[in-house]
Amino acid sequence: MAVYFNEFYNSLYALWNQIIYAVSNIRIFDIIDIAVVAFLLYKAFVFLRETRAGQLVKGIAVLLIVYALAKWWQLAVLEWILSVVFNSAIVVFAIIFQPEIRRLLERVGQTKFGRVRNNKDINLESCIENVSKAARSMQETKTGALIVFERETQLGEIINTGTQIDAETSVPMLNNIFYPKTPLHDGAVIIRDGRIFAAGCILPLTQSNIFSQSLGTRHRAAIGMTENSDAVVLVVSEETGNISIVSNGAIERNFNGVTAYEKLKELLIDNDDSDNKKIISTVKNIFPSLQKNAKDENEEGKNE
């Protein structure tokens, strides 16, 4: 018993020495490296949780457990089949997670630094206000509507399925487009830079089965659109008149004209500003001396 205790104690002592050695020799770049990896892992976890990829990851985890059991119990055929699958894991991963990988890469390319409020934001805010008023009007008459706000991801392929308009976003125009007897009422309206750019567009339907079967075609099209792009979509149900807003493959329901305006403004305008503030705040917290050094250099330059 004493021998086992001594071995356990020596192992713990050796591990403690390794930890002390690693901590004593850590560099600032090692801390940055750890912080970046932790941030990426956190973002990956949040991304998987928000999309259907989370369910696929659970399925892969089950296969790994089955593979381990097959190897332990020496189930040769099952082990061979699973080994073939895992040997092609990169190709399988790319095929299964193709929509999620595309969205992830698009998000990486959407990062903005130093964004300031300009005329485009003001025009977009006016557009959001008119869309919200039109949605409230269509909610009262139970007129179905599907309105897509284009963001960084260009929706050229979707626009080509409809009719290009390029008109000012106004309540009468939106009400006229979605009036049941007009030629363009069945499709979606695409809004680009605060203007109605196209109407009667066909959106891709979501392939996910995790959403309620009570959702109609408009809602499934809205979810599918946001699964394949960074667009934000407003939906008015033809059956109930309920207003829903969809972003990042997630749907929020039961809005009215006022709350829809607030939510759209948060997603399309305020969200970018808050992201930039977070980035700037993080940089300042990690490198608090940067501002001081820059200030000192400016004062030295003035003195010279």
d(CA 11, CA 4): 11
Given a contact cutoff of 8 angstroms between Cβ atoms, the answer to whether 286 and 35 are in contact is yes
Q: What percent of the chain has pLDDT over 90?
A: 33
Q: Where are the domains of the chain?
A: 119-278
The alpha-carbon radius of gyration of the chain (Å, integer) is 27
Q: What is the pLDDT of residue 110?
A: 53
Residue 223 has pLDDT above 60, yes or no: yes
Given a contact cutoff of 8 angstroms between Cβ atoms, the answer to whether 194 and 126 are in contact is yes
CB atoms near residue 240 (< 10 Å): 13
Pick the range with the lowest mean pLDDT from 9-13, 39-43, 222-226, 292-296: 292-296
- Over residues 265-273, the mean pLDDT reads 79
d(CA 114, CA 106): 19
Residue 298 has pLDDT above 50, yes or no: no
Give CATH for domain 119-278. Answer: 3.40.1700.10
Residue 73's identity, in one-letter code, is W
Q: pTM of the entire structure?
A: 0.58
Residue 209 has pLDDT above 80, yes or no: no
Reference 143, options 212, 224, 234, 231; nearest CA is 234
- Residues forming beta bridges with residue 196, ordered by sequence position: 167, 191
Given a contact cutoff of 8 angstroms between Cβ atoms, the answer to whether 147 and 245 are in contact is no
Give the C-alpha distances (Å, rounded to integers) separating 47 from 14, 43, 66, 194: 38, 6, 26, 28
pLDDT one-digit tens code per residue, 47-78 = 666 555 566 677 778 888 888 888 888 888 88
Report the SS3 class of residue 27. Answer: coil
Q: How confident is the model at residue 130 (pLDDT cuts 50, 70, 90)?
A: very high
